[in-house]
Every structure is written in structure tokens, then in C-alpha cells.
């Protein structure tokens, strides 16, 4: 097992000089979808959340209001699009509109989880490309840029005509797994579609990668694992994915890995959606521990004992600081390359 990967730059480190002045005073708005994550980010940045309120009226209407002057300020509204998806999405649009009408200088929509990212293509007759519709709506509401994490398809960034900064939850998840010092570790993707991301995850840890091949039956959550490419015999394995809804893919893959001679099996997922029944399935499964981030706060049932939450607040705080200071956020994307280089140097 290689040494733990190098940590991301400290949020408290001296701030680099920018070639441009910041976009007015920094302001953070906490939407109703992610109040806890927003407070963590504010604490790391050393600022107070801007007073604001969101209400859901009895007939279902959403109402938002900013409670102090934000004219000329650089505003980041933190509002994920998870359950209740449509209420949260409409609230996000209303926040953007309210901020633009209140003369904010720049509005960044911080979307920890963008649920409609799953609707990224027209793969059946007469269906909507939902992610594109949502992107158009966010732009029409007046957002100047978007900050999000682990879109189901990174190409969705191209649906926007405004800047999109796309973060990767694997940075904090890999840091956490490295701290556990698990020996003989292999990273495994549950399907070919996530193979590149799994390879990047493995590079962060300096360990081998295995790839599963699964078949999904229609729109159901039923899956069938067809093959595993890679050696897992006698190895500890961490299954990685961008999100888990029913967790059936991960659970079935864990069973296949067990039959292939794997030892302890873990899972690391950025967005733990976890629909009703998922926690019970995970608790009864062969997965020893499942790590998820705090990108989603409104869960439909309590977590089982096997689930452990890792915060992405430091990742978002660094990105917000860089965007506000108009400095590069490349360190949030090149961390993998830096870790790979450090791992190679230790090996050499």
C-alpha cells in the first residue's frame, strides 16, 4: 500500500494575487436543500451566511427572500437538486432571479448534486433531454456561472453557455480511504461506463483497477453483472461510482467479487441518493463499509451502520475562494496528476 496521497492545498494558505480584483464582497446564501453543508463551507471561508429565507406554502408554491443588501456583491447560492427534486430546482431558479433583481454583481449557482444530470441524452423516441432543459432554465434565470460536482456525464457542461466548474468527489473520498491504510487494495468500477473515473480514483491511491460489465433491464433498477475484468483474488476491493439510488448494482457486484475471491469489499460513492429500502439492502449485503459525501442532506430514511459520511465542504470552499478571487481552480482538477507523480516518485 502506497503512502497516503498528498493533501489538497490548505484553505488557510496565503491567497495568491489575482490579475483582477474580486467580484465585490463575498456572500453565501444557503438554500433549503443544503443548509448544513452551507454552514460548513461558510465556517471554512471565515464568513457568515447571508440572512435569507425560503418557504413552501400550503398550496405548493415556493417563496424566497434575501434579508440584507447584496447589491454589488459576489454571491454564491448553495442549493442542490435532490429530493424533493422539483421543489429544490424551482427554489434554485427563484434564488438566482431574486439575487439578480437585487443587483448582485455575480451569481454562482452552487449545485452539490444535480439530479437531472441523469437525463443527458435522447436515447428513446419522443423523450426530453431534461438536463439541457434545466441548463437553459438556470441560464434564463440569470446565473453567471455554475459550480457543481460529479455530473453523471461531464459533457453536460456543454449544455451551458456560462462557465461551469466541475468538481470531483473522488478527491476527498480517496483521501479518506488512503487514511485507512487498507492493504492489497483494488479499485473496481461496477460498469464500463465508469471505467475512466475508476481509473482516476485508482491513480489517486496508487493501486490497480478492475472493471465490471453489467446489464440493466429497461428502466428498472434490476441489473445483471456479466463479467469482471481484472484480478481481485485475495484482494481488498473498493467499489466506486458517482451515485447510488437503490444500491443494487454495488450489492450485486460485491457478490460477484466475493465469488471471485475478493476479501473485504468497500464502496465509495459521491452522491448517496439511497431510495427507500437501500439502507436495509446495504446493511444485509457483503459490503463492509460504504463511504458517501454530504452532497445530499434530505435522505428518505436513516443511514444504516455501514454508511460513513465524508464532507466535501473543504472542496467547495476552496473552489468558491478561487472563483471569488478570480484565480485558477486547476488545483482541484490536477490533484490526481500530482498524486500520481508523487506516487511514482515514492516507487522510484
* Catalytic center residues: 214
CA triple 36-42-43, angle to 5 deg: 90
Nearest residue to 42 via CA among 322, 313, 327:
313
Q: Is 53 exposed, middle or buried (0-12, 13-18, 19+ CB in 10 A)?
A: exposed
- The CB-side HSE value for 168 (13 A sphere, CA atoms) comes to 23
245-266 per-residue burial string, b: 16 or more CB within 10 A, e: under 16:
ebbbbbbbbbebbeebebbebb
Q: Is 82 helix (H, G, I), strand (E, B) or coil?
A: coil
Please choose, from the candidates 230, 190, 240, 233, the residue with its C-alpha nearest in 3D space to the C-alpha of residue 212.
190
Note whether 231 and 260 are within 8 A (CB): no
CB 228 within 8 A of CB 260: yes
Partners of 211 in the β-ladder: 189, 229
| CB-based burial, 93-126: b 16+ in 10 Å, e otherwise | bbbbbbbbebebbbbbbbbbbbbbbbbbeeeeee
Is the CB of residue 85 less than 8 Å from the CB of residue 62? Answer: no
Amino acid at each position: 500500500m502506497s503512502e497516503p496521497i498528498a493533501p489538497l492545498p490548505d484553505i488557510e494558505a496565503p491567497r495568491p494575487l489575482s490579475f483582477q480584483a474580486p467580484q465585490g464582497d463575498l456572500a453565501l446564501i444557503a438554500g433549503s436543500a443544503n443548509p448544513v453543508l452551507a454552514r460548513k463551507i461558510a465556517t471554512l471561508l471565515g464568513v457568515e451566511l447571508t440572512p435569507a429565507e425560503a418557504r413552501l406554502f400550503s398550496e405548493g408554491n415556493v417563496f424566497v427572500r434575501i434579508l440584507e443588501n447584496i447589491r454589488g456583491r459576489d454571491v454564491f447560492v448553495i442549493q442542490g437538486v435532490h429530493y424533493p427534486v422539483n421543489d429544490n430546482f424551482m427554489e434554485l431558479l427563484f434564488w438566482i432571479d431574486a439575487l439578480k433583481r437585487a443587483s448582485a454583481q455575480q451569481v454562482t449557482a452552487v449545485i452539490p448534486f444535480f439530479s437531472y444530470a441523469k437525463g443527458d441524452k435522447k436515447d428513446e423516441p419522443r423523450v426530453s433531454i431534461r438536463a439541457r432543459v434545466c441548463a437553459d432554465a438556470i441560464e434564463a434565470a440569470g446565473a453567471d456561472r455554475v459550480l457543481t460536482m460529479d455530473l453523471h456525464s461531464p459533457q453536460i457542461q456543454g449544455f451551458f453557455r456560462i462557465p461551469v466548474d466541475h468538481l470531483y468527489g473522488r478527491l476527498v473520498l480517496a483521501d479518506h480511504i488512503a487514511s485507512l491504510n487498507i492493504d492489497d487494495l483494488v479499485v473496481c468500477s461496477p460498469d464500463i461506463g465508469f471505467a475512466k473515473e475508476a481509473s482516476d480514483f485508482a491513480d489517486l491511491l496508487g493501486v490497480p483497477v478492475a472493471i465490471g460489465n453489467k446489464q440493466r433491464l429497461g428502466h428498472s433498477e434490476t441489473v445483471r453483472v456479466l463479467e469482471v475484468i481484472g484480478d481481485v483474488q485475495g484482494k481488498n476491493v473498493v467499489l466506486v461510482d458517482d451515485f447510488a439510488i437503490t444500491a443494487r448494482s454495488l450489492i450485486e457486484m460485491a457478490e460477484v467479487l466475493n465469488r471471485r475471491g475478493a476479501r473485504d469489499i468497500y464502496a465509495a460513492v459521491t452522491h448517496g441518493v439511497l431510495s427507500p429500502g437501500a439502507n436495509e439492502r446495504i446493511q444485509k449485503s457483503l459490503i463492509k463499509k460504504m463511504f458517501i459525501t454530504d452532497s445530499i442532506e434530505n435522505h428518505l430514511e436513516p443511514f444504516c451502520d455501514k454508511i460513513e459520511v465524508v464532507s466535501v465542504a473543504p472542496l467547495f470552499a476552496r473552489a468558491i475562494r478561487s472563483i471569488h478571487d478570480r484565480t485558477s481552480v486547476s488545483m482541484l482538477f490536477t490533484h490526481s496528476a500530482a498524486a500520481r507523480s508523487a506516487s511514482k516518485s515514492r516507487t522510484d
